[in-house]
């Protein structure tokens, strides 16, 4: 069966609250859906959801590049194997637009599997498996962050990830201490994400303070691109470090190997929309595991279309530790979906249906 038509649809996601990060506050997010048709029927959908201020692609060029992709996809045979889908995606996706690459891969895999939002046929999609996730605490006032912490703990999360670096460091320490005073590291796993907020000269001291709280890890303590400084920190740190923004823009396998060999982090964070899709994410994992570097996946504030694909990929890869896949409930106007959260786990609720797009 051939792809007879392809189209794009722009959607602006509206946050339920002002989501604070060390790079600023998010109120809305643009995303684009790539739709594939065969014989006048929608058979595949993927999401290109770059994040302003973080993604490499220029948002004002997204629709132009997606239209070009649509033109190239029309008339092609729907793939019959994952590797074939990857080959097509590689051939039609523009350089420098990793989220488009992810959208094409996802749409093709969906079409290959019958247009049922099925990307990987795993126990997760079958409603038989739940994936542990971390509860995300956004930056804001001390009261707002305390409120979020209480809500996550009350909701049954046993892994909490707190964004730090936007308010006073001592206040952030107190917030983390307030959790540790009630729960040991055996009861609640604590992660922090600095989004590059620390200065290299102060980072090791701050990591030492954070390490006293039995944290699991810290994501991106200093800005990306400071390879020597990050390598020093990863060598000396009393707290495991996970690279995030440092992976952006690196797509060649040799460069991926070089980066991880130079820095030797304890973990890497994988965001398929940011890293160039599913195939690229799998390559990062293979390289990291060969160096005994741990990893977990995180969504990049996609709608439930992109989140669905990442959850299914996580299930396909048989993840065990908590993943960063709890962002589907952030928006007023997300696409209704079977993806649900309960007791700190995400699952595919077979009693729920997908909403229209």
d(CA 140, CA 20): 6
- Quote the mean pLDDT of the chain: 94
**How sure is the predictor about 352, in pLDDT bands with cuts at 50, 70 and 90?**
very high
User: How many helices (H) does the chain have, and how many strands (E)?
Assistant: 11, 13
What domains are defined for the chain? 5-112 (3.30.390.10), 131-348 (3.20.20.120)
Of residues 282, 254, 277, 200, the one with CA closest to residue 268: 282
Cα angle for residues 61, 259, 229 (degrees, 5° grid):
100
Spatial contact of 1 and 39, defined as CB atoms under 8 Å apart: yes
Question: Of these residues, 29, 117, 152, 163, which one is catalytic?
Answer: 163
Largest CA distance in the chain: 62
Token pair belonging to 315 = 């299930």
Strands 189-193 and 217-219: parallel
Nearest-angstrom CA–CA distance, 260 and 245: 13
Look at residue 140 and tell me whether its pLDDT is greater than 80.
Answer: no
Give the pLDDT confidence score for residue 243 in this predicted structure.
98
pLDDT at 35 over 90: yes
For residue 1, with 0-12 CB atoms within 10 Å meaning exposed, 13-18 middle and 19 or more buried, which class applies? Answer: exposed
Q: Output the six-digit token pair for 240.
A: 């495991």
**pLDDT exceeds 90 at position 303:** yes
Q: What is the DSSP letter of 120?
A: S
The pLDDT of residue 23 is 60
Are 281 and 268 contacting, i.e. CB atoms less than 8 angstroms apart? no
Report which of residues 82 and 195 the model is more confident about: 82
> What is residue 42's predicted lDDT score, i.e. its pLDDT?
97
310, containing H or E segment:
helix 304-316
Give the span between the Cα atoms of 233 and 284, in whole angstroms: 21
Known catalytic membership, residue 161:
no
pLDDT at 233 over 90: yes
Pair of tokens at residue 332 = 């007023």
pLDDT for position 13: 95
pLDDT at 20: 61
Told to judge if 163 belongs to the known catalytic residues of this protein, a careful annotator would answer: yes
> What pLDDT is stored for residue 167 in this prediction?
75
Give the Å distances, CA to CA, from 69 to 10, 53, 83, 105, 221: 15, 24, 19, 12, 37
* Measured distance CA(8)–CA(5) in Å, rounded: 11
Q: Per the residue annotation, which of 117, 152, 161, 271 is the catalytic one?
A: 271
The Cα-based distances of 194 to 9, 80, 169, 233 in angstroms read 33, 42, 11, 14
Q: What is the mean pLDDT of residues 8-17?
A: 93
């Amino acid at each position: 069966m051939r792809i007879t038509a392809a189209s794009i649809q722009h959607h602006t996601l509206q946050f339920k609250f002002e989501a604070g990060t060390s790079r600023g506050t998010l109120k809305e997010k643009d995303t684009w859906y790539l739709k594939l048709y065969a014989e006048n029927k929608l058979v595949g959908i993927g999401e290109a959801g770059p994040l302003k201020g973080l993604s490499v692609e220029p948002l004002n060029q997204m629709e132009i590049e997606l239209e070009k992709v649509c033109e190239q996809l029309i008339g092609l045979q729907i793939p019959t194997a994952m590797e074939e889908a990857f080959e097509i995606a590689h051939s039609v996706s523009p350089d420098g637009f990793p989220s488009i690459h992810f959208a094409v891969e996802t749409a093709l895999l969906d079409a290959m599997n019958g247009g049922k939002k099925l990307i990987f046929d795993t126990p997760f999609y079958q409603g038989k498996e739940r994936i542990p996730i971390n509860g995300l605490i956004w930056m804001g006032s001390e009261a707002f962050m305390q409120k979020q912490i209480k809500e996550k703990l009350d909701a049954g999360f046993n892994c909490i990830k707190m964004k730090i670096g936007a308010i006073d460091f001592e206040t952030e320490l107190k917030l983390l201490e307030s959790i540790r005073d009630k729960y040991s590291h055996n009861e609640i796993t604590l992660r922090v994400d600095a989004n590059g907020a620390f200065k290299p000269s102060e980072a090791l001291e701050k990591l030492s303070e954070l390490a006293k709280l039995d944290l699991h890890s810290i994501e991106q303590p200093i800005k990306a691109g400071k390879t020597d400084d990050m390598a020093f920190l990863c060598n000396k740190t009393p707290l495991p470090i996970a690279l995030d923004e440092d992976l952006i823009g690196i797509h060649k396998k040799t460069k991926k190997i070089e980066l991880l060999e130079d820095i030797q982090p304890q973990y890497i964070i994988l965001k398929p929309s940011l890293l160039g899709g599913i195939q690229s994410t799998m390559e990062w994992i293979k390289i990291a595991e060969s160096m005994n570097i741990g990893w977990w996946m995180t969504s990049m504030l996609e709608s439930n279309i992109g989140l669905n694909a990442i959850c299914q990929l996580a299930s396909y890869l048989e993840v065990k530790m908590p993943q960063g896949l709890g962002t589907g409930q952030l928006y007023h106007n997300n696409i209704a979906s079977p993806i649900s959260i309960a007791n700190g786990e995400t699952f595919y609720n077979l009693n729920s249906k997908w909403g229209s797009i």
